[in-house]
């Protein structure tokens, strides 16, 4: 299974610049939340979250993604104050300990501003920079990387009745429009990563269509981030209700993402994904 070279960049992430290679960069997930769908409550304690994040880097994470607000289906918003209470001690401890870029998953400008001042490199906005009217201007005044994700609806209602005539075409058009709007707001296109929002306002056929046609999304000209790790559509395919038992699905997506030239793969199981890619590389090159 030969890969399409991932986005060759460079991708500017504040003080850090990444250049694409033969496999996606692995973004390790650190949920500092009580209610995330897969690992809610496991890393709510700051010391536990710091240890988990450090271990992900040791396992081979190229980036970290810290989140203090669950976006699982049916979840409700978390106030900026509560997000910062959860995430600030973790970020303060991690920043001097790890050299990899750190992304923070938030839709709130107040949270984004605070974490950037503490050394975060990327803001991962699941609303596509729409939820907070102050977010675009705040991001324009910084030099951080920006992940723009597509979602139909909100986390509270996104899975109630998602409908598309052409999910790939509609998501691609939406992402292109967001790029134009953000550029008009002063956010350089070179700083933006696009995420089609697997599992966010999409049912199984929508998710499969988007993954099968990543070439149409790559044609927009920006690096792609795919976050499918442990999600419900994999549970449907595997007949596996337990999120943490869906590693087979995660590795299948990892293989597909590598072949399709995805730039960033957001994963829970960094060690497994890194080892999986190492074996694929050895099989293709004949070198250990």
In the residue annotation, 180 being an active-site residue is answered as no
In the residue annotation, 266 being an active-site residue is answered as yes
Choosing from 72, 191, 258, 266, the catalytic residue is 266
Residue recorded with tokens 């920079």? 129
Structure tokens at 95: 């920043």
Torsions phi, psi of 59, nearest 5? Answer: -80, -10
What is the 8-class DSSP label of residue 128? S
Distances in Å between the Cα of 166 and the Cα atoms of 178, 193, 215 are 18, 22, 15
Choosing from 231, 246, 258, 274, the catalytic residue is 231
What is the DSSP annotation of 194-236?
A: EE--TTSS--HHHHHHHHHTHHHHHTTSS-BEE--TT-HHHHH
Torsions phi, psi of 138, nearest 5? Answer: -65, -45
What is the 8-class DSSP label of residue 171? H
Structure tokens at 122: 């990327």
Torsions phi, psi of 147, nearest 5? Answer: -100, 125
Plot region of 90 (φ>0 → left; ψ -120 to 50 → alpha; else → beta) = alpha
The CA distance from 214 to 224, in Å, is 9
Buried (b) or exposed (e) across 155-190, using 16+ Cβ within 10 A? Answer: beebbeebebeebbeebbebbbebbeebeeeebeee
The CA distance from 72 to 36, in Å, is 6
| Residues marked as catalytic | 231, 266
């Amino acid at each position: 299974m030969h890969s399409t070279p991932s986005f060759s960049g460079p991708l500017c992430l504040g003080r850090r610049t990444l250049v694409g290679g033969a496999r996606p960069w692995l973004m390790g997930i650190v949920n500092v939340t009580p209610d995330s769908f897969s690992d809610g409550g496991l890393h709510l304690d700051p010391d536990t979250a710091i240890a988990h994040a450090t271990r992900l880097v040791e396992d081979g994470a190229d980036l970290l993604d810290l989140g203090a607000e669950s976006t699982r289906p049916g979840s409700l918003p978390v106030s900026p104050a509560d997000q910062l209470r959860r995430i600030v001690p973790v970020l303060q401890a991690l920043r001097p300990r790890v050299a990899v870029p750190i992304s923070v998953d938030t839709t709130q400008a107040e949270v984004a501003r605070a974490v950037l001042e503490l050394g975060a490199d990327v803001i991962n906005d699941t609303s596509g920079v729409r939820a907070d009217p102050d977010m675009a201007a705040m991001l324009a005044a910084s030099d951080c990387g920006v992940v723009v994700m597509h979602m139909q609806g909100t986390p509270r209602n996104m899975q109630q009745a998602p409908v598309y005539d052409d999910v790939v075409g509609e998501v691609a058009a939406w992402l292109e429009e967001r790029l134009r709007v953000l550029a008009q707001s002063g956010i350089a296109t070179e700083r933006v990563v696009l995420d089609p929002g697997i599992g966010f306002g999409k049912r199984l056929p929508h998710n499969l269509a988007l993954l099968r046609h990543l070439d149409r999304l790559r044609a927009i000209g920006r690096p792609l981030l795919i976050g499918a790790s442990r999600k419900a559509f994999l549970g449907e395919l595997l007949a596996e209700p337990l999120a943490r038992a869906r590693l087979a699905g995660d590795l299948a997506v990892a293989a597909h993402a590598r072949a399709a030239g995805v730039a960033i793969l957001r994963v829970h199981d960094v060690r497994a994904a890194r080892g999986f890619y190492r074996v694929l590389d050895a099989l293709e090159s004949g070198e250990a």
